[in-house]
Amino acid sequence: MPRKRTRRNEPIELPILAVRDTVLFPHMVAPLFVARDRSLRALDEAMARDRTIVVIAQKDPSQQEITPDDLHAIGTEAAIGRILKMPDGTVSILVQGQRRLQLTEVLQEDPYLKGLLLPVYEAAQKKTLQLEALMRAVLALFEKCVKLSKSLPEDVYIAAMNVDEPGWLADLIASSLDLNLDQRQDVLATLDPTKRLQKISIILAKELEVLELQNKIHSQVQQEVDKNQREFFLREQMKAIQKELGDLDVQTREMEELKKRVSEANLPEAACKKAEEEIQRLAIMPQASPEVSVIRTYLDWLIKLPWTAETPDNLDISQAARTLEENHYGLPKVKERILEFMAVRRLAKEKLRSPILCFMGPPGVGKTSLGRSISQALGRKFLRVSLGGIRDEAEIRGHRRTYVGALPGRVLQTMRNAGTINPVFMLDEIDKVGTDFRGDPSSALLEVLDPEQNFSFSDHYLEVPYDLSKVLFIATCNILDTIPPALRDRMEVIELPGYIEVEKLHIAERFLVPKQLQENGLGPDQLRVTRGALMRLIREYTREAGVRNLEREIGNICRKVARQVVEGKRHPGRITERAVPDFLGPLKFYWGIAEEKDEIGTATGVVWTWVGGDTISVEVTLMKGKGQLTLTGQLGDVMKESAQAALSYARSRADQLGVKANVFEKTDIHIHVPAGAIPKDGPSAGITMATALISALTNRPVRREVAMTGEITLRGRVLPIGGLKEKVLAAHRAGIKTFVLPRKNQKDLVDVPADVKRELSFIFVEEMEEVLNNALLDSQPKEKPATPRGD
Ligand code: ADP
């Protein structure tokens, strides 16, 4: 295109073409639409002269009529190429940018804009290393952009590669990128080529980041789409294969069946959602996968657990009272408490939180059978779980499904058997729960028992919360001491202390004998057990606080009789006192006073063990030696300490007792408590040990019909002890006549049945001296001493 030559830095006069939507760069070719009147005239003028015009962008693209102020200062000289006239009077032209021009003055506004412009020459740049590096960096960035971008053709990059001048390169890249008008004008107005290229490099870096991000998003979307398509495809394929193999019908039928069962099971929302998810997983799983059976078992659990089914409570108090009376002898306090509980429940209806009852007492006193009666009275299901020896939290709360063979914990396993959400749930032996590295089961139990938490009990296997709040929990224990305090606080403890002989007799007559007859297939008229026989069973064949062994012995007799009946042998219709050994062999316990005669160095004490109260005899022997004390018979720490205290008391009172002081240095003392297999502990054998010891030291025999209990202090005071009722019952059971006990325990005798009180004489003491006065006879110098005395 021809162009009028001007000399350097000489201003030139040119018609101005104001453009709204583009910025023309030097060397670039661009199509322009010309529509405005003044622009058309400027075009005419340029065509009339040398086809040269200056293209200047206007500051505000939306402005229709412009003044000189509305134009940017830097524009581009353009050579006009092809011109196309449109039917609507507008014109489309093709222009090629030449060089930058700076608008110095607007000479006229009408009929077209004309200005005086100064050419901007770009001095040939010296290619410094820096500049070279910049150019290469820009080119590299541009190459990446071209590769990532969909709109940049590869040709532009090739063109850019062949440009040598930094300013030109910047212009080329700026014109090819999709920049906004301000950015383009900014590049155009940056006259220094190096600076312009730097700007481009910043723009390119940003552009690249955007492009990379776009690409990433795009590929993610693509992946997702691909995955879905792939899954769909595979599933279809699998169906086809299964169809070929004839499996499809079975599997789809099973899925349908499962869905139906889930919808019928009335699951709460969370469980229902979980079940549906699992069914979904199952549907796409190959039949042979080991996961299939895991999911099936899991779904089976979800479906079979009771979620809403409930039995209506029978709150008829008088009927409940009758049920309890029919099943249980005695225990008035316990029965009263149960009926109160039902009464409150009847008044409060739904709002009430179930209290957690805890039955405490020795084995065989009827804790379990009481629980059963409560469920019967309320019309609820009865469940029982033994917690004895549990050390692993997972036993309560289950294993996560990731474990092979995982199952829910015992609580939910038991609930499944119940089939209703409001059974009576008995937690047996809650005092025997242990703790070790496998977690603390009692913390899981806390969650089971705490009314604040147990509406959403979490089992590791089940994964969805389970509501235990409607369950009536009853715990049982032998002792309270080993139950963690947090757990103990949540329970209302009801004590069942054990029975006396008369009570046992009544229980045997009214409940145990009829029950055993029935269990062994005998009619009531086929066998009668006389009172005398029962009494003998109680005294000579059992020694317990409850009636479990008694029931077992009655069962033994019934079985033997049943066999005789079946074998057609003659059998006694009546079991008398004398006939008992024929059935059960020789007696197992000597009833009555433990000792045959008044002995030196042996005293009878009453202590408390986990099977209830029990009598013990403490033996002391003295041997020549160096003053050593030996203790045997599985004594606990506290009991050992009481032995030490007893010894110190005896030493400190040696003078008063008539024992020479040097005896203690020359004698070894051995204290033994027989029945060594049963662990014994507690301070209540203190005065017994002191009595036996002093008897041995002073050669005074102990009166055989006396038993005693009480803690001893170093100064010889007798302190009160716990579990008195149990101990009195045990002394009574053993046939003791005189019972020495701490004065401070006198008040506890109110709990002891009158029958027992009548048969025992109680001596209340405060000082050890009183014990000795009552228990020891005078010394027997004539008899050869059983133990060495001091010389
Ligand atoms: P625990 O759970 O305290 O060890 P169980 O409930 O197993 O005791 O009782 C043992 C047996 O003694 C059961 O057959 C029970 O029916 C019977 N039994 C215990 N106490 C009584 C009682 N007061 N009346 C009737 N039967 C009783």
608-647 confidence digits (pLDDT tens): 776 677 888 899 999 988 888 898 887 888 888 889 999 9
Q: Of these residues, 114, 274, 367, 727, which one is catalytic?
A: 727
Quote the mean pLDDT of the chain: 85
Asked whether the beta carbons of 94 and 84 are under 8 A apart, the reply is no
CA distances from 672 to 11, 622, 631 (A): 130, 12, 6
Q: Is 349 one of the annotated active-site residues of the chain?
A: no
pLDDT (average), residues 328-332: 86
Q: How confident is the model at residue 240 (pLDDT cuts 50, 70, 90)?
A: confident
Q: How confident is the model at residue 790 (pLDDT cuts 50, 70, 90)?
A: very low
Give the atom of ligand 1 at the shortest distance from the alpha carbon of 331.
23
Q: Whose CA is nearest to atom 21 of ligand 1?
A: 366
Asked whether the beta carbons of 471 and 311 are under 8 A apart, the reply is no
> What pLDDT is stored for residue 174 in this prediction?
92
pLDDT (average), residues 141-158: 90
Cα of 363 vs centre of ligand 1, distance in Å, is 9
Residues in the chain: 791
Q: How confident is the model at residue 784 (pLDDT cuts 50, 70, 90)?
A: very low
pLDDT (average), residues 403-408: 85
Look at the pTM and tell me if it is higher than 0.75. no
Question: Tokens representing 378?
Answer: 């309320």
Q: Of these residues, 149, 684, 695, 725, which one is catalytic?
A: 684
Which DSSP string corresponds to 273-311? HHHHHHHHHHHTS-TT-HHHHHHHHHHHHHHHS-SS--P
pLDDT (average), residues 398-426: 88
Which of 511, 552, 726 is the pocket-test mutation for ligand 1 (most atoms within 8 Å of CB)?
511
CA distance 234 to 232: 5
463-505 confidence digits (pLDDT tens): 889 988 888 899 999 888 778 888 888 888 888 888 888 888 9
Q: Whose CA is nearest to atom 16 of ligand 1?
A: 369
348-397 confidence digits (pLDDT tens): 766 666 678 899 888 889 999 999 988 988 889 999 998 887 888 888 88
* Between 674 and 457, the higher pLDDT residue: 457
Give the atom of ligand 1 at the shortest distance from the alpha carbon of 428.
2
Give the atom of ligand 1 at the shortest distance from the alpha carbon of 515.
14
CA distance 626 to 457: 63
280-311 confidence digits (pLDDT tens): 888 877 777 788 888 888 988 888 889 888 88
Q: Is 458 one of the annotated active-site residues of the chain?
A: no
Ligand 1 contacts CB of residue 447 (under 6 A): no
Pairing of strands 612-624, 667-672: antiparallel
Ligand 1 contacts CB of residue 612 (under 6 A): no
Ligand 1 contacts CB of residue 555 (under 6 A): no
Cα of 553 vs centre of ligand 1, distance in Å, is 14
Element (H, E) at 220: helix 193-245
547-599 confidence digits (pLDDT tens): 999 999 999 999 988 888 888 887 778 888 888 888 888 877 766 555 667 88
Asked whether the beta carbons of 528 and 574 are under 8 A apart, the reply is yes
Ligand 1 contacts CB of residue 367 (under 6 A): yes
Which of 367, 369, 373 is the pocket-test mutation for ligand 1 (most atoms within 8 Å of CB)?
369
> What pLDDT is stored for residue 80 in this prediction?
93
Cα of 227 vs centre of ligand 1, distance in Å, is 66
To the nearest 10 degrees (0 to 180), the angle between helices 637-652 and 686-698 is 40
Whether 791 has a pLDDT exceeding 70, the answer reads no
598-610 confidence digits (pLDDT tens): 888 889 888 877 6
Q: How confident is the model at residue 32 (pLDDT cuts 50, 70, 90)?
A: very high
Which DSSP string corresponds to 681-724? -SGGGHHHHHHHHHHHHHTPPBPTTEEE--EE-TT-BEE--S-H
CA distance 35 to 364: 111
For residue 575, what is the DSSP state? E
Cα of 539 vs centre of ligand 1, distance in Å, is 18
Whether 789 has a pLDDT exceeding 90, the answer reads no
75-94 confidence digits (pLDDT tens): 999 999 888 988 888 899 99
Of 49, 45, 48, 66, the residue nearest 57 (C-alpha): 66
> What pLDDT is stored for residue 437 in this prediction?
66
Ligand 1 contacts CB of residue 426 (under 6 A): no
Asked whether the beta carbons of 54 and 75 are under 8 A apart, the reply is yes
Which neighbouring-strand residues pair with 629? 669
Give the atom of ligand 1 at the shortest distance from the alpha carbon of 371.
6
Which of 547, 551, 558 is the pocket-test mutation for ligand 1 (most atoms within 8 Å of CB)?
547
Q: With the C-alpha atoms ordered 750, 752, 753, 758, is the resulting torsion angle positive or negative? A: negative
Whether 783 has a pLDDT exceeding 50, the answer reads no
Cβ contacts of residue 325 below 8 Å, gap of 6+? 335
CA distance 643 to 577: 42
Which DSSP string corresponds to 166-201? HHHHHHHHHHHS---HHHHHHHHH--SHHHHHHHHH
